[in-house]
């Protein structure tokens, strides 16, 4: 069996360091906002060359708190992509704001920036680009639009830790960058966890209060906040893996190159990196009108695959009910019917990639 992600292999390779890190937390018994959270915040801020990084409970909260810290309120409109995990738009709805969906570029699966300007109204407050599957969104035109209309930009980097757009790490380009440390991510813990990075002191100050019940001084509460603190044990685990992130991302890129060299079918569109972009291949996602045939062939040989995402957000029941969206987004709809993600993790070996490719090449 070849899984989508093999967490056991990575744990075995890092076992002594991870076990020591967890043991250290248990010995210190500082489990909430302890020294590992503080050190991880410092290390991630240094990695991104920004002054502020704020640990939160998960990637969804990272987006939610970033929106609040950027001043998004009920009735505001936030432009984003429909081709992403629901959390990206769910957080907009949780603030009683309104998600406005813009179609995607089929080659990168990211927001089509040429369509953003046409969706801006007097209610538009922010844009959430998603660096989907580890490929950076096209940030230069997006930021030009944001500056022109004085919009906040919150980058959803949940799948793109370490990815670069024209030598600039994603998450550092907009007003805030939001990360998830869910176990399957390219930088991951062993449970939920999240982080927001920013260059803006006031956004950072708001985030620190929002994650801790609206408080900056114990038992004194300036705003209505959340209980959204990064777990100390998770921070300790992530600190171990952070040291290896460049190595992990490079292994993913090498695996992607190997896949592209080995898969040879005219009915398959392979992923690639746009000019000036460093893709980190959180997912290796192909497109094919024969997706179901390919998935069945892989399953019969004990190879996992997954469809991210089968129903675009503008067609999800929850948003149809909330907003009665009269919108057709053809690229998102076509991609949703054709995408198939193959196993992708740093420890995947060349023999496994060759086997997977052989099954795909011969699937009928």
The architecture that CATH gives domain 245-362 is Alpha-Beta Complex (3.90)
- Say how far apart CA 65 and CA 58 lie, in whole Å: 11
DSSP 177-196: EEEE--TTSSS--SS--EEE
pLDDT given for residue 28 in this prediction: 96
Per-residue pLDDT at 327: 79
Q: What is the reported pTM?
A: 0.97
Judged against a pLDDT cut of 90, whether residue 80 lies above it is answered with yes
Which one is the CATH code of 7-242: 3.30.1360.120, 3.30.565.10, 3.40.640.10, 3.40.50.300? 3.40.640.10
**DSSP state at residue 133:** G
Average pLDDT, the chain: 97
For residue 159, the model assigns a pLDDT of: 98
Given this model, what pLDDT does residue 32 score? 95
Domain ranges of the chain: 7-242, 245-362
Dump strand ranges (E) for 107-181: 124-128, 152-156, 164-165, 168-169, 176-180
Share of the chain above pLDDT 90, in %: 97
Euclidean distance between CA atoms 99 and 115, whole angstroms: 15
pLDDT of residue 221: 95
* Residue pLDDT, tens place only, 173-185: 999 999 999 999 9
CB atoms under 10 Å from CB of 245, counted, come to: 18
**Radius of gyration in angstroms for the set of CA atoms belonging to the chain, rounded to a whole number:** 20
DSSP letter for 127, please: E
- pLDDT tens digits, residue range 21-62? 999 999 999 999 999 999 999 999 999 999 999 999 999 999
Query: Rounded mean pLDDT of 205-227?
Result: 95
pLDDT digits 0-9 by tens, 150-171: 999 999 999 999 999 999 999 9
Burial class (CB in 10 A: 0-12, 13-18, 19+), 205: middle
Residue 324's pLDDT is: 76
pLDDT in the model for residue 130? 98
Query: Cα separation of 30 and 37, whole Å?
Result: 10
Burial class (CB in 10 A: 0-12, 13-18, 19+), 243: exposed
Residues 6 or more apart whose Cβ sits within 8 Å of residue 110: 81, 104, 129, 130, 131, 132, 135, 136, 137, 138
In whole angstroms, give the CA distance from residue 216 to residue 209.
5
Residues listed for the chain: 364
* pLDDT score of 326 more than 80: no
Tokens of 240: 């171990």
Q: How confident is the model at residue 123 (pLDDT cuts 50, 70, 90)?
A: very high
pLDDT for 325 equals: 74
- Identify whether the C-beta of residue 292 lies closer than 8 Å to the C-beta of residue 274: no
């Amino acid at each position: 069996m070849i899984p989508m992600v093999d967490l056991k292999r990575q744990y075995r390779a890092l076992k002594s360091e991870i076990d020591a890190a967890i043991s250290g937390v248990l010995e210190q018994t500082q489990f909430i906002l302890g020294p590992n959270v503080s050190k991880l915040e410092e290390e991630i801020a240094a990695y991104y060359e920004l002054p502020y990084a704020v640990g939160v409970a998960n990637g969804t909260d990272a987006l939610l708190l970033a929106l609040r810290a950027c001043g998004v309120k009920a009735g505001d409109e936030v432009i984003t992509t429909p081709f992403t995990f629901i959390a990206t738009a769910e957080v907009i709805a949780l603030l009683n704001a309104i998600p406005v969906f813009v179609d995607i570029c089929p080659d990168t699966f990211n927001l089509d920036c040429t369509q953003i300007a046409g969706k801006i109204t007097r209610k538009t407050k922010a844009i959430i680009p998603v660096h989907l599957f580890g490929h950076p969104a096209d940030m230069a035109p997006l930021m030009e639009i944001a500056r022109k209309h004085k919009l906040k930009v919150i980058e959803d980097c949940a799948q793109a830790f370490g990815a670069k757009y024209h030598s600039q790490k994603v998450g550092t380009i907009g007003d805030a960058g939001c990360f998830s440390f869910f176990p399957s991510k390219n930088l991951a813990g062993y449970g939920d966890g999240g982080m927001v990075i920013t260059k803006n002191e006031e956004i950072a100050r708001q985030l620190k209060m929002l994650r801790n019940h609206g408080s900056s001084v114990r038992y004194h509460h300036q705003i209505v906040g959340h209980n959204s603190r990064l777990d100390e044990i998770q921070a300790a685990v992530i600190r171990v893996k952070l040291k290896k992130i460049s190595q992990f991302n490079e292994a993913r890129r090498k695996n992607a190159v190997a896949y592209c060299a080995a898969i040879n079918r005219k009915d398959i569109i392979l992923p690639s990196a746009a000019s000036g972009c460093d893709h980190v291949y959180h997912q290796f996602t192909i497109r094919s009108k024969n997706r179901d045939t390919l998935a069945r062939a892989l399953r019969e040989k004990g190879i996992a695959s997954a469809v991210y995402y089968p129903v675009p957000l503008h067609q999800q029941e929850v948003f149809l009910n909330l907003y009665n969206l009269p919108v057709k987004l053809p690229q998102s709809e076509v991609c949703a019917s054709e995408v198939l993600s193959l196993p992708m993790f740093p420890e995947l070996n060349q023999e496994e990639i060759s086997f997977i490719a052989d099954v795909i090449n011969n699937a009928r």
